[in-house]
Amino acid sequence: MAKVVIDRDKCKGCFLCVSFCPKGIIKKSARLNKKGLNFVEVDPKGSCAGCLQCAVICPDCCIEIYK
């Protein structure tokens, strides 16, 4: 299982990573970041496969994956 780290203050809420996550563990947060935008977060019930699709598609490089 891989660990997903998201920089919520850099996230602009485009939600591309939500669409590209094959396991569906990345979701829109109900909370707001410093910019006043909904950011993404990892579902604690999910299990990351470490495929890196979310990190590659993120236009602002907000996501890091640790295996």
Q: What is the pLDDT of residues 3-52, one digit of tens each?
A: 999 999 999 999 999 999 999 999 999 999 999 999 999 999 999 999 99
Assign 3 to helix, strand or coil.
strand
Residue 49 tokens read as 């496969």
Contact 4, 42 (CB under 8 A): yes
Q: For residue 22, what pLDDT is reported?
A: 96
Q: For residue 15, what pLDDT is reported?
A: 97
Structural domain boundaries of the chain?
A: 3-66
The three-point CA angle 9-3-64 to 5° equals 45
Q: Is the pLDDT of residue 1 over 90?
A: no
The CATH architecture assigned to 3-66 reads: 2-Layer Sandwich (3.30)
Q: Which of 54, 50, 55 is nearest to 20 (CA)?
A: 54
Quickly list H helices, the chain.
16-20, 53-57
